[in-house]
């Protein structure tokens, strides 16, 4: 493994600036949950249950709003949606800090619906800016920077809310969202690649052409992954509190986030492509179940978190990359919005599930509950992946008699099978995560993020070479060109370009 994939990816136009702007834009978004919680509890003097209802209203609004905003991006372009959501969310935070609780609930749902789509926009832009050969490290970088946003955001939110008050914190969020929206508007990252039909073309694809079992399976894995993460967040705090080691909670959660960052970093260096999201998520969920055995000492708890933690960022990375590959460009915004909704719903469900198990069985049962649900989801999704693997044809081996033709058409063969070859296990990160309100109030906010997507072979992890005669990509695939497949393939294509443009027989070539 080497850093070459990261160096090549960061050298691509606009990638570095996109990652920097997206990381900063996500900080106020990551701080929103903990600021709202502290406002309801400290500012309005209500219970954590009441704060949870406000958070649920925001989650419900965001779950419905993200796909709608993504669809608008597909149809209108990025900048009109950025103007709409930035103005709407700034107004929301300015107004919300002065509202009584009964009015805050419905307004929070509206605010969630019109939230700035910084997460999905970043992933959509990464898919447009990077060739398939570089999406794995690009999404891995996105995953790691999202981790940093969720480590900084809640901490800053708690700091401002506890020193200047929750209303001041909410007004600060309004300023942060304004700066985030303006930054994204000025950057204006592309949401379509150069070889894809632009937004102005008005190209549309029916939803039934891409909303298929494989896509739903990736969404299910994504939702289950963040459910496990959010539940683990709460269970860590509960275990340490029960053992009288609560003062170590911040360190343990920070180490957990570091393990995720490290796992994402290593995963992104894999040049041969990553694993399917399910192959990463299943062991992550399974390894979460026994973490509660480390309740006796914080160091043992942190040690048991390493295996599952190191798979957090790669799992979310794999899901985002998978979606970026299997969805046609004209529907990518809506699909990424659905992916963002799956991440959000998983976070919203994980904390209550872990809390319920902790209340009835003890702190260690929080890990058992969320890990078991994750394993169950993995088992339910497994048949879809197995059917896809069976439907994927095996690699074809050219016969000796076909040697002249195969020598004369390497560029066409590479071009036609690029999506399968680069997809076989490529993964990347797109992101989102967050922590449950209980963990956030304690000053911790680990989060995992990212994504992975693939056309036909990606989720199952199988690789197949498409014959030259089948080189026309399916509507949902992005046709690869020698230029997008790296310098080695470019040189091959240059040497055989004439043959790639025609289908001549060996006799004709002679």
510 residues of the chain, pLDDT tens digit each: 578 888 889 999 999 999 999 999 999 998 998 899 889 988 898 887 788 889 889 989 999 999 999 999 998 999 999 999 999 999 999 999 999 999 999 999 999 999 999 999 999 999 999 988 888 889 999 988 988 898 888 889 989 998 999 999 999 999 999 999 999 999 999 988 888 878 877 778 888 888 888 899 999 999 999 999 989 988 998 888 888 888 888 888 888 888 998 998 988 887 666 678 899 999 999 999 999 999 889 999 999 999 999 999 899 888 988 888 888 888 888 999 999 999 989 988 888 888 889 988 888 999 999 999 999 999 999 988 888 667 666 544 444 333 334 333 333 333 333 333 333 333 333 333 333 333 333 333 333 333 333 333 333 333 333 333 333 333 344 344 333 334 333 333 343 333 334 334 434 333
Helix (H/G/I), strand (E/B), else coil: 99 = coil
What CA–CA distances, in Å, run from 253 to 230, 324, 436? 12, 30, 12
Name residues whose C-beta falls within 8 Å of residue 93's C-beta, 6 or more positions apart in sequence.
111, 170, 171, 173, 174, 177
Q: What pLDDT does residue 392 have?
A: 63
Phi, psi of 203 (to 5 degrees): -65, 135
Residue 395 per-residue DSSP state: P
Q: What is the CA radius of gyration of the chain?
A: 23
Around Cβ 466, how many Cβ atoms within 10 Å?
23
CATH architecture of 10-191+209-389+410-460+481-493: Up-down Bundle (1.20)
Q: What pLDDT does residue 394 have?
A: 54
Name residues whose C-beta falls within 8 Å of residue 212's C-beta, 6 or more positions apart in sequence.
none
Around Cβ 134, how many Cβ atoms within 10 Å?
25
Measured distance CA(6)–CA(2) in Å, rounded? 9
Q: What pLDDT does residue 395 have?
A: 47
Phi, psi of 206 (to 5 degrees): -65, 145
Question: Do 111 and 96 form a contact (C-beta atoms < 8 A)?
Answer: yes
Indicate the domain borders of the chain: 10-191+209-389+410-460+481-493
Q: What pLDDT does residue 273 have?
A: 63
Burial of 404 per CB tally in 10 Å (0-12, 13-18, 19+): middle
Q: What pLDDT does residue 341 have?
A: 92
The full DSSP string for 368-386 is HHHHHHHHHHHHHHHHHHH
Question: Do 146 and 119 form a contact (C-beta atoms < 8 A)?
Answer: yes
Burial of 2 per CB tally in 10 Å (0-12, 13-18, 19+): exposed
Question: Do 62 and 110 form a contact (C-beta atoms < 8 A)?
Answer: no
The answer to pTM > 0.75 is no
Measured distance CA(436)–CA(350) in Å, rounded? 8
Q: What pLDDT does residue 456 have?
A: 35
Size of the chain, expressed as the number of residues it contains: 510
Return left, alpha or beta for 504; rule: phi > 0 is left, psi -120 to 50 is alpha, else beta: beta
Measured distance CA(386)–CA(397) in Å, rounded? 24
Cα angle vertex 302, ends 298, 308, to 5°? 150
Measured distance CA(392)–CA(398) in Å, rounded? 18
């Amino acid at each position: 493994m080497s850093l070459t994939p990261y160096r090549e990816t960061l050298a691509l136009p606009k990638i570095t600036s996109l990652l920097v702007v997206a990381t900063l834009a996500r900080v106020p978004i990551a701080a929103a949950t903990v600021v709202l919680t502290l406002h309801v509890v400290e500012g309005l003097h209500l219970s954590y249950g009441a704060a949870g209802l406000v958070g649920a209203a925001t989650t419900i609004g965001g779950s419905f709003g993200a796909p709608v905003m993504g669809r608008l991006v597909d149809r209108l372009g990025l900048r009109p949606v950025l103007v709409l959501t930035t103005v709407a969310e700034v107004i929301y935070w300015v107004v919300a800090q002065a509202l009584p609780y009964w009015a805050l609930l419905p307004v929070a749902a509206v605010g969630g619906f019109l939230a700035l789509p910084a997460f999905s926009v970043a992933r959509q832009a990464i898919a447009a800016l990077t060739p398939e050969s570089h999406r794995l490290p690009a999404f891995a970088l996105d995953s790691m920077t999202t981790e940093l946003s969720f480590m900084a955001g809640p901490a800053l939110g708690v700091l401002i809310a506890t020193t200047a008050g929750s209303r001041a914190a909410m007004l600060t969020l309004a300023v942060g969202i304004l700066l985030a929206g303006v930054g994204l508007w000025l950057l204006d990252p592309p949401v379509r690649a150069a070889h894809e039909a632009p937004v102005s073309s008005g190209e549309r694809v029916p939803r039934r052409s891409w909303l298929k079992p494989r896509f739903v399976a990736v969404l299910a894995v994504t939702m289950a992954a963040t459910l496990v993460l959010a539940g683990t967040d709460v269970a860590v705090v509960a275990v340490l509190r029960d053992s009288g080691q609560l003062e170590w909670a911040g360190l343990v959660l920070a180490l957990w986030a570091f393990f995720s960052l490290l796992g994402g970093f290593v995963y992104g260096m894999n040049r041969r492509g990553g694993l399917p999201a399910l192959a990463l998520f299943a062991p992550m969920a399974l390894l979460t179940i026994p973490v509660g055995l480390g309740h006796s000492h914080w160091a043992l708890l942190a040690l048991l978190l390493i295996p599952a933690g190191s798979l957090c960022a790669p799992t979310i990375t794999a899901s985002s990359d998978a979606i970026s590959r299997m969805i046609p460009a004209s529907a990518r915004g809506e699909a990424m919005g659905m992916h963002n909704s799956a991440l959000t719903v998983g976070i919203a469900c994980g904390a209550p599930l872990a809390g319920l198990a902790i209340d009835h069985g003890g702190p260690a049962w929080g890990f058992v509950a969320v890990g078991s649900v994750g394993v169950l989801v993995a088992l339910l999704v497994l048949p879809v992946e197995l059917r896809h693997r069976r439907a994927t044809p095996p690699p074809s081996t050219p016969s000796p008699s076909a040697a002249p033709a195969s020598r004369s058409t390497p560029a066409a063969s590479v071009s036609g099978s690029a999506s399968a070859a680069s997809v076989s296990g490529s993964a990347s990160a797109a992101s989102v995560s967050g922590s449950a309100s209980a963990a956030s109030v304690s000053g911790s906010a680990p989060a995992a993020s990212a994504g992975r997507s693939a056309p036909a072979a990606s989720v199952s992890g199988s690789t197949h070479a498409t014959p030259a005669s089948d080189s026309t990509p399916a509507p949902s695939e992005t046709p690869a060109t020698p230029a997008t497949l790296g310098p080695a393939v470019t040189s091959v294509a240059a040497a055989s370009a004439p043959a790639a443009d025609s289908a001549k027989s060996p006799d004709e070539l002679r």
